[in-house]
Amino acid sequence: MEHLLEQTLNGLQLGFVYALIAVGYTMVYGIIKLINFAHGDVFMIGAFVAVFGFTSWGLPWPLAILVAMLACAVLGMGIERLAYRPLRIKGAPRIAALITAIGVSLFIEYFTSLDFVFGSDYRNVPRVLPERRWEIFGVSINNVQVLVLVTVLVLVVFLQLVVYRTKVGKAMRAVSQDMDAARLMGIDVDRIIGFTFALGSALAAAAGALFAMAYPQIHPFMGIMPGLKAFTAAVLGGIGSIPGALLGALVMGQVEVLTAAYLTTDFRDAIAFALLILVLLFRPTGLLGKTAPEKV
Amino acid sequence: MKRILTGFLAVSLFALAACGGGAPAGGSGGGADTIKIGWIGPLSGENKTYGESTKRGVELALEEMGYKIGDKTVELIAGDDRSDSTEAVNLATKMMTQDGVAAIIGPVTSGPAIAVSAMTETYKVPMITATATAPKVTVNDDGARKPFVFRACFINPFQGQAAANFASEELGAKRAAVLYDKGNDYTIGLAEAFRATFEANGGEVIAWQSYGGDDTDFSAIMTNVSALKPDVLYLPDYYGRVSLIAKAAKDKGIDVPMLGGDGWDSPDLDFETLAGGYFTAHYSDQDEREAVQSFATKFQERYGERPDSFAALGYDAAKLLMGAIERAGSTDGEAIRAALQSTHDFPAVGGQLTFDEWGNPIKSAVLLQVQADGTYKYITNVD
């Protein structure tokens, strides 16, 4: 029994990291109906900046995470400004934006693989915290797990406050419901879209930093799989819905870990993706998605 | 586009002509006074230190000979395969058909080496890999020898056996947990050899666990392994992955000796986490034999650091090949092959080398222990 609890904890750790990435996908989709495929690469950049922060620049880890979040917020806004906004203003079809997103993703991956940027090596991440473990009712938990769980919870509460308790959050919700009406009400739609990218990218950066601490190895292509899983989680939960993304991510994390633990490691990804198909068969809009979903 | 197509056609025709006539492409790419040698290995990506070290060893050997065999100049054509089989085959095809290499040194890792070895007989270009340890590099699936393929290192079953014997006899281990990558011939080979020998020694393999090539989360596996209370972990993978697995093991409180294979031998290994672990390697610079010490000194003078196994094997492979080309007196693939096969008591860093009928050298392994300060401690020789 303790064994199952401990595995659930492993799954929770993975699911929490996916959750931070998934909300970025879901917010951007909620507002401009774009699947931002470059999101996984923003996650990767966040991991690199945070690791440079607490290794080469000697920052304490909370500061390193903040620096990574800031850097990626700027990067996210930059991507939106340079790649997506020109298309939106010209009224290009959505498929054009989607393909641009794939292009941006590949560009980031291969550009950062160049030797004068990050290089294509796999880097080991040194331990940030001294190794420490506790046994609580026979369940073993380590300080990195605690760090991941607490940081994600704090960030999710922060996100809820921003979206539901601030003016800019209200504007985000308004834009996602009806962009034209929002513009008529005097909301600067482009600025709000930029803000949404910044917020989502900052959360992805935090996820990258935590991922690098929990699974300590980084390289320029590390964002692909977590990005894909988080996207799946967002769809599973109902894309466009923040609580849906969180729920979907938790389910994905658990399924992956429990499959590896009790069935076979050979099918951990296969079963996670098969679950997506199953859910979509019975609930095409995802677990918490509505037919007219409340977005953002 | 038209020009590319024409070029492509020309290349294909050339390739056809090369196999149709049965003539090796040697020398056709350059002047008659140049002997071209291909080198393939990873210079970027997950396993890049293997490639870098091996290439340094090869270059040191060639420099010593002044890039000359007799009165002919040797030219080294190096290609980066990123440890990817497809990439390695592309490079080998280009080297054999366009560049007209006389022989290829490489690839460095087993997967690409197996892929390239399948082409050698078609083009009659001999290949000697310095470091690929999977048995299938030199033999086909049906057990037949690939006549043009040789290697300068021992093979996987030998490494697995050596590690298992060390675990049972020296560490007194009875319960082993073995983790391997199900998509990698190298790690499967080592894991199976370890299991067979460890069980024959009266030990029990309590966890026989595979994982996928892209996995980064080993927490679920390690929680299970931890509950089984092993007294030794066998982790026969390349250095990048091993570092990740070992950290996950430590996180789950598994504090038993870890064992591995020559894949651990890299300056990028996570020494802090793996400190105290043992692995089977091809050579140690603390070995006091004259050949080893003189090589290590030369390497240190040239590159300013101590050579690892990969450098030593690269050096040996280059020397073996140069010697064979010299004895063959030509760049004809068949002649070089025959000369390589007849190698007898060749003075190499890894000992006096003689090839057995499978193209494998008969040699011993060393057992090294990882130290937290980034060095290895020489423990013993294994025959």
Specify if A131 maps to a domain.
no
Domain that holds residue B53: 2-154+290-364
Question: Scanning every residue of chain A, which has its alpha carbon at the shortest distance from the alpha carbon of B183?
Answer: A266
| Percent of chain B whose predicted confidence (pLDDT) is above 70 | 92
pLDDT exceeds cutoff 50 at B17 = no
- Give helix B219-228 / helix A242-258 axis angle, nearest 10°: 40
Name the DSSP class of A264.
Answer: -
Of B292, B328, B327, give the one whose Cα is nearest residue B311.
B292
Its pTM stands at 0.81
Specify if A109 maps to a domain.
yes
Strands (E), A205-257: 217-218
Q: Are the C-beta atoms of A205 and A69 separated by less than 8 Å?
A: yes
pLDDT of residue A296: 56
Shortest CB distance from B212 goes to which of A122, A131, A265? A265
Q: Which of A19-28, A98-107, B85-94, B373-382 has the lowest mean pLDDT?
A: B373-382
Pick among A112, A121, A225 to test the B interface (most B CBs inside 10 A): A121
B268 and A121: CB-CB below 8 Å? yes
The answer for residues whose C-beta is within 8 angstroms of residue B285's C-beta and 6 or more apart is: B292, B296, B306, B307
For B357, the token pair is: 């009928």
Question: Scanning every residue of chain A, which has its alpha carbon at the shortest distance from the alpha carbon of B179?
Answer: A265
Residue B44 Cα, gap to closest chain A Cα (Å) = 6
| Percent of chain B whose predicted confidence (pLDDT) is above 90 | 50
Shortest CB distance from B216 goes to which of A127, A217, A258? A217
Buried b (16+ CB within 10 A) or exposed e, B119-139: bbeebbbbbbbbbbbbbbbbb
- Chain A within 8 Å of B118 (Cβ-Cβ)? no
Which residues of chain A lie closer than 8 angstroms to B272, CB-CB? Answer: 126-127
Specify if B63 maps to a domain.
yes
Q: Clarify whether residues B45 and B125 are in a common domain.
A: yes
Of A86, A97, A93, A75, give the one whose Cα is nearest residue A29.
A97
pLDDT digits (tens, 9 = 90+) for B96-128: 999 999 999 989 998 999 999 999 988 999 999
Specify if B375 maps to a domain.
no
Q: A–B: how many Cβ contacts below 8 A?
A: 85
Identify the helix (H) or strand (E) that includes residue B258: strand B258-260
CATH number for the domain harbouring residue A274: 1.10.3470
SS3 A243: helix
pLDDT exceeds cutoff 60 at B6 = no
- Chain A within 8 Å of B191 (Cβ-Cβ)? no
pLDDT band at A175, cuts 50/70/90?
Answer: very high
B219 and A119: CB-CB below 8 Å? no
- Chain A within 8 Å of B252 (Cβ-Cβ)? yes
pLDDT of residue B12: 54
Shortest CB distance from A121 goes to which of B48, B210, B251? B48
Q: Clarify whether residues B146 and B166 are in a common domain.
A: no
pLDDT mean across residues, chain A: 91
Domain that holds residue A160: 2-119+139-282
Residues in chain A: 296
Domain count for chain B? 2
B251 and A119: CB-CB below 8 Å? no
CATH number for the domain harbouring residue B36: 3.40.50.2300
Q: Are the C-beta atoms of B219 and A10 separated by less than 8 Å?
A: yes
Q: pLDDT: is B39 or B23 the higher one?
A: B39
Of B141, B181, B179, give the one whose Cα is nearest residue B47.
B181
Identify the helix (H) or strand (E) that includes residue A116: none
The answer for residues whose C-beta is within 8 angstroms of residue B329's C-beta and 6 or more apart is: B70, B335
pLDDT of residue B30: 45
pLDDT of residue B286: 83
Shortest CB distance from B251 goes to which of A126, A144, A225? A144
pLDDT exceeds cutoff 80 at A128 = yes
The number of beta carbons lying within 10 Å of the beta carbon of residue B383 is: 8
Specify if A162 maps to a domain.
yes
The mean per-residue pLDDT over the stretch A262-268 comes to 83
pLDDT digits (tens, 9 = 90+) for A13-36: 999 999 999 999 999 998 888 999
- Concatenating the DSSP letter of every residue in A14-62 gives HHHHHHHHHHHHHHHHHHH----TTHHHHHHHHHHHHHHHHTTS---HH
In the block, tokens 């890999």 appear at B129
**Cα separation of A187 and A173, whole Å?**
11
User: Which ipTM did the prediction report?
Assistant: 0.82
Specify if A218 maps to a domain.
yes
Q: Which amino acid is at B229?
A: K
Which residues of chain A lie closer than 8 angstroms to B82, CB-CB? Answer: 120
A131 and B251: CB-CB below 8 Å? yes
> What are the C-alpha distances in Å from A145 to residues A10, A149, A152, B211, B281?
8, 6, 11, 22, 35
Shortest CB distance from B44 goes to which of A120, A127, A269? A120
pLDDT mean across residues, chain B: 87
pLDDT of residue A75: 97
A261 and B223: CB-CB below 8 Å? yes
Q: Clarify whether residues B193 and B231 are in a common domain.
A: yes
Question: Scanning every residue of chain A, which has its alpha carbon at the shortest distance from the alpha carbon of B252?
Answer: A140
Q: Are the C-beta atoms of A179 and A189 separated by less than 8 Å?
A: yes
pLDDT band at B177, cuts 50/70/90?
Answer: very high
Of A15, A132, A7, A129, give the one whose Cα is nearest residue B225.
A7
pLDDT of residue B29: 42
Specify if A276 maps to a domain.
yes
A265 and B209: CB-CB below 8 Å? yes
Domain count for chain A? 1
Q: How far apart are the first and last CA of chain B?
A: 58
pLDDT band at B22, cuts 50/70/90?
Answer: very low
Q: Which of A27-41, A148-162, B369-383 has the lowest mean pLDDT?
A: B369-383
pLDDT digits (tens, 9 = 90+) for B354-363: 888 888 888 8
pLDDT exceeds cutoff 70 at A144 = yes
Q: Clarify whether residues B8 and B148 are in a common domain.
A: yes
Q: Are the C-beta atoms of A68 and A206 separated by less than 8 Å?
A: yes
